[in-house]
Amino acid sequence: AQSVSQHNHHVILSEAASLELGCNYSYGGTVNLFWYVQYPGQHLQLLLKYFSGDPLVKGIKGFEAEFIKSKFSFNLRKPSVQWSDTAEYFCAVSPGSARQLTFGSGTQLTVLP
């Protein structure tokens, strides 16, 4: 069965700091990769997705992620975080048929003003 690991459970940064959240998955076949964000009191929103093609994916709000197949990783990055980025971030994987999502345990990001 596939699994997703997010090693950082809680990250605290000051505004303007750079962000990198780790995501590793275990699945031997073709995968689709996602990052979702959950702002306080809001529903899960799609930040970015990777299906195929360029392994460097750009999403909304200045976020990007890089798919490194050899490392089974899909790390999320942002060069300069804002207070409004405070939220919980979830990495998710689905097999090539893009059906069920397997989620990581989430990373709570707190950005201090």
Partner 1 sequence: KAGVTQTPRYLIKTRGQQVTLSCSPISGHRSVSWYQQTPGQGLQFLFEYFSETQRNKGNFPGRFSGRQFSNSRSEMNVSTLELGDSALYLCASREGSNQPQHFGDGTRLSIL
Give the three-class secondary structure for 85.
helix
Among residues 17, 61, 15, 18, which one has the least CA distance to residue 37?
61
Does the protein bind partner 1 through residue 105 (CB under 8 A)? yes
For residue 65, which phi and psi values (nearest 5 degrees)? -145, 150
105 or 110, CB closer to partner 1? 105
Stretch that binds partner 1, among 7-15, 16-24, 70-78, 93-101 (CB under 8 A): 93-101
Q: 25 and 82 in contact (C-beta within 8 Å)? A: no
Binding track over 32-51 against partner 1, x by CB under 8 A: x-x-x-----xxxxx--x-x
Stretch that binds partner 1, among 61-69, 70-78, 79-87, 102-110 (CB under 8 A): 102-110
Among residues 7, 14, 56, 6, which one has the least CA distance to residue 36?
6
| 90, 107, 109, 111: residue in contact with partner 1 (rule CB under 8 A) | 90
Among residues 23, 66, 63, 30, which one has the least CA distance to residue 46?
63
Q: Which residues bind partner 1 (CB under 8 A)?
A: 32, 34, 36, 42-46, 49, 51, 90, 92, 97-106
